[in-house]
Amino acid sequence: MRMSSRARLALACFALSSLVGCESVPGTPTEASALCAEVAAIVCDADARCFGSEGPRASCLTAQREACDQSLGTLATDARLGYDPARAGAFLSSLEARGLGCWAEPADLDALLEVFRGTGPEGSECTPRAIEGHDLLVSSLACADGTACRLHVRIDGSPEGVCETRSDDACSHPWDCEAGSFCSLPARWEPGVWGECRPRRTNGWACTSDVECASLFCDGVCTDAPDDRLALEVDYAAVVLGSDPALYLRLNESSGARRDELGGPSAAASGGTVSRVAMGAIEGDGAAGLADGSFLRVAAPEALVDAEGLTLECWARPDDVSAVAPLLELADAMDYGPHVWAFDTGDELYALVEKTLLETSPGGIKVSLTRRGKPGHSWLYTPKGPAFEAADRAYTRAWGRGLLQIGVGGTIPFVALFGRRFGDLPLILNGVMDPETGAHGPNESMHLGVFEKAILANVHLYAELAEVPGLAR
């Protein structure tokens, strides 16, 4: 089968190496409204010529045009950036030649950035709307030729961008360097922290992003991109086997049995419950999926017993992040081994908070967020089942009124730890406090009457749980 890799060629302004040439006459001026149509045509033609794509050309053109409209197209139609049709024509001509060579030479990122001449003269404000890649790029391109958008910090700590003439190799953000170079910044960069513009690295040098490399491809070190990196479709089996896996599991059987499908990876015994669902883990695959809290447990193959490290690569489409069972376990008889779970992570929660704050800030107020340290793991599930029904009865007996459940404790580190380790067991959290407790504050206190009822409630809870089939352990 073949797997779509549209995301790989979404034409985002950071990859850009996915952009390929066009059918226009070399150097022909290209208006902004026609740019994405030209790009889409060459992406699809090059893919058919270089990689043997068999899909309908019309579908390819539509998909690539939409992807371009959402990335490069937004830059081309932004009046502040000064899109230049003649420069665009030269860029497309260069890309066409590289596409004809099936990307033996990477697309010219610098030529693409040169398409925009900017409109902000020296001294103009170019403060980005947000301190993130796309907005920083827009601010950089908005400054007129011969100037650069330099980020400074105001007295109140907020960032301020100003179009200034470049006089040295200092850089204030990732897009603040001239052609052929990148901005070397510390890992925890923030506005006000400056780095130095350095030449793009040749193959073999360590890197953290594509833009640091002359090849525009970073895989821990700068290296040439794989031959099929820009293919719109790649063979799924080749992708899997290319990682030389010790074990490959595919959920496309009608029962819990698994088999070695591709040849090469070791077979493994398995158990657990698998429910058939319409959509599998891989879009369009027709594979089975895990549903209703079911999971798969696999005995670790011999190749992993003495391994110094282990990498798990999963395609998953979780419908419910509150599931209390893992998607996959690789464990031995003592239940030691890696577990793959489907939960909201700190990264996802941070992204949601950031999006909400930036999109809902009142007019005139500029909001920016700076992340500090590593996020903790959260724990979320629906309090349903016989154990929670037992808790309802126990607390009702102790307090003389019905129990009201609220979501608390999900960010306590050991709660997430217990959840991952004992995912098949219900976790009942009961915070003993009253409205005046002031938890974690300097005057934290506990009403003795509340404390007494909490003790009584837990006594009743143990008695109730002892009567629940399967929970008395």
More confident residue, 143 or 358: 143
Structure tokens at 246: 């010790």
* pLDDT of 48 strictly over 70: yes
Q: Is 299 helix (H, G, I), strand (E, B) or coil?
A: strand
What span, in angstroms and rounded, lies between the C-alpha atoms of 24 and 10?
A: 22
Q: Which residues contact 187 (CB under 8 A, 6 or more apart)?
A: none
Segment 400-424 shows an average pLDDT of 74
Q: Which residues contact 71 (CB under 8 A, 6 or more apart)?
A: 10, 11, 12, 13
Residues in the chain: 473
Q: Which residues contact 31 (CB under 8 A, 6 or more apart)?
A: 85
Beta carbons of 174 and 190 less than 8 angstroms apart: no
- Residue 155: per-residue pLDDT: 87
Report the amino acid identity of residue 263: G
Angle at 350 between CA 349 and CA 356, to 5 degrees: 90
What confidence score (pLDDT) does residue 98 get? 87
pLDDT at 383: 76
Average pLDDT over the chain reads: 74
Residue indicated by tokens 């709307």 = 129
- Model pLDDT for residues 10-24, shown as the tens digit of each residue: 233 333 333 333 333
3-class DSSP state of 215: coil
Report d(CA 220, CA 204) in Å as an integer: 9
The backbone torsions φ and ψ at residue 297, rounded to the nearest 5 degrees and listed phi first, read -120, 130
- Positive/negative CA dihedral, 375, 377, 382, 387: negative
What local confidence, expressed as pLDDT, does residue 157 receive?
A: 84
Read off the pLDDT band of 420 (50, 70, 90): low
Is the distance from CB of 270 to CB of 258 less than 8 angstroms? yes
**In the chain, domain spans:** 2-106, 110-224, 243-343, 386-466
Q: Across the strands, what pairs with 152?
A: 160
Residues whose CB is less than 8 angstroms from the CB of residue 332 and which lie 6 or more positions away in sequence, other chains included: 299, 300
Q: Torsions phi, psi of 378, nearest 5?
A: -100, 165
Task: Report residue 288's pLDDT band, with 50, 70 and 90 as the boundaries.
Answer: very low
Distance CA 391, CA 403 (A): 8
Kindly report the CA angle at 264 between 259 and 266, in degrees rounded to 5?
55
pLDDT of the residue at 457: 92
Type and span of the H or E element at 328: strand 328-331
Query: CA of 106: how far to CAs of 26, 213, 225, 420, in Å?
Result: 18, 11, 8, 44
Q: Return the pLDDT at 137.
A: 92
In tens, the pLDDT along 116-139 reads 999 999 999 999 988 888 889 999
Residue 285 has pLDDT above 90, yes or no: no
Q: What is the pTM (predicted TM-score) of this model?
A: 0.53
Ranking 103-117, 159-173, 302-316 by mean pLDDT, the lowest is: 302-316
Q: pLDDT (tens digit, 9 = 90+) per residue, 319-375?
A: 544 444 555 555 555 555 555 555 445 666 676 777 788 777 777 777 877 776 666
CA atoms within 13 A of residue 389's CA, in its CB half-sphere: 8
pLDDT at 123: 94
What does the pLDDT read at residue 323? 44
Segment of 40-44, 145-149, 234-238, 297-301 carrying the highest mean pLDDT: 145-149
Segment of 76-80, 370-374, 441-445 carrying the highest mean pLDDT = 76-80
Output the CA torsion 335→340→343→348 (10° steps). 140
- Asked if 360 contacts 337 with a C-beta cutoff of 8 angstroms, the reply is no
Q: In the block, which residue shows the tokens 């369009």?
A: 284
Asked whether the beta carbons of 126 and 120 are under 8 A apart, the reply is yes
The more confidently predicted of residues 46 and 6 is 46
Separation CA 375–CA 343 (nearest Å):
14
Least confident residue range of 34-48, 346-360, 459-473:
346-360
Give Cα 26 to chain centroid, integer Å. Answer: 38
Q: Which CATH class is domain 386-466?
A: mainly alpha
What pLDDT digit, counting tens, does each position of 154-203 carry? 988 889 999 999 888 999 999 999 999 999 988 778 888 999 999 999 99
What is the percentage of the chain residues whose pLDDT exceeds 90?
27
